[in-house]
């Protein structure tokens, strides 16, 4: 479902306004602006690496929808983190599944598509489902940070997501890992246990490895290939 033209134009204006006004704002100020502008038409997209952004947004908007892409390939620890956050935070988890089960995808494209064509696999199990899940919202919130990888170095706190015609909110974009750790400690945030077991960024199990100490957080995703993004943020 596409955004109506007038609504789309207004959203694009709000994205530009937010980018100007919130370039150096705190994460809390960014969230407060987003909640004030979009209310219940704002959601959070979470990979369930931790509960930082769901906690941050739900503090200003209790009951906020948190979109989780259940690809069928997640670690058990990720599913457990999703379930734990759903019971401990004032959020509404929207568990989004692809149109095809893993078995149905294997039957059409062959087994282990993630090894042979990871871009297509991500498109089918993440990009397309997210587009469907975001229909009806005006803005979505992510946990993107500039320090995670060079591909995210130019990310702004507020952006226009042209491919989905939505405002994209990145409240912790300026945070470092130390900032994240401090927030987790201060607010007793649940964390996916894999992050304490050598993983820097958590995605689907077949495409995620532990990282080498000192490497960027996303170096364990699609290791050994040129791929470093699933397509949700590009």
Could you give the residue numbers annotated as active site?
Answer: 230
In sign, the C-alpha dihedral spanning 69, 70, 73, 78 is: positive
Where would I find the H helices in the chain?
5-21, 27-38, 52-60, 76-88, 102-109, 113-116, 118-122, 128-134, 177-187
Query: Of 89, 40, 47, 27, which Cα lies nearest the Cα of 194?
Result: 47
Say which residues have a Cβ less than 8 Å from residue 166's Cβ, sequence separation at least 6: 3, 11, 134, 137, 138, 139, 140
Rounded to an integer, what distance in angstroms lies between the CA atom of residue 197 and that of residue 207?
Answer: 16
**Strand-strand pairing, 42-45 and 64-69:** parallel
């Amino acid at each position: 479902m596409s955004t109506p033209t007038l609504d789309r134009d207004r959203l694009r204006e709000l994205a530009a306004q937010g980018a100007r006004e919130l370039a150096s704002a705190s994460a809390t100020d960014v969230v407060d602006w987003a909640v004030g502008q979009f209310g219940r038409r704002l959601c959070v997209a979470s990979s369930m690496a931790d509960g930082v952004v769901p906690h941050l947004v739900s503090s200003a908007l209790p009951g906020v929808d948190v979109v989780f892409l259940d690809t069928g390939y997640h670690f058990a620890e990720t599913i457990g983190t999703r379930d734990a956050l759903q019971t401990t935070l004032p959020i509404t988890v929207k568990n989004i599944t692809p149109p095809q089960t893993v078995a149905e995808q294997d039957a059409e494209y062959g087994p282990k598509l993630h090894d042979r064509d990871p871009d297509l696999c991500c498109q089918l199990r993440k990009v397309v489902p997210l587009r469907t899940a975001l229909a009806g919202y005006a803005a979505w919130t992510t946990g993107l940070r500039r320090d995670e990888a060079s591909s995210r170095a130019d990310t702004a706190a507020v952006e226009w997501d042209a491919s989905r015609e939505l405002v994209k909110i990145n409240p912790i974009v300026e945070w470092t890992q130390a900032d994240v750790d401090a927030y987790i400690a201060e607010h007793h945030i649940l964390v996916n246990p894999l992050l304490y077991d050598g993983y820097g960024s958590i995605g689907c199990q077949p495409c995620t490895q532990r990282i080498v100490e000192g490497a960027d957080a996303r170096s364990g995703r699609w290791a050994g290939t040129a791929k470093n993004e699933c397509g949700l943020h590009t």
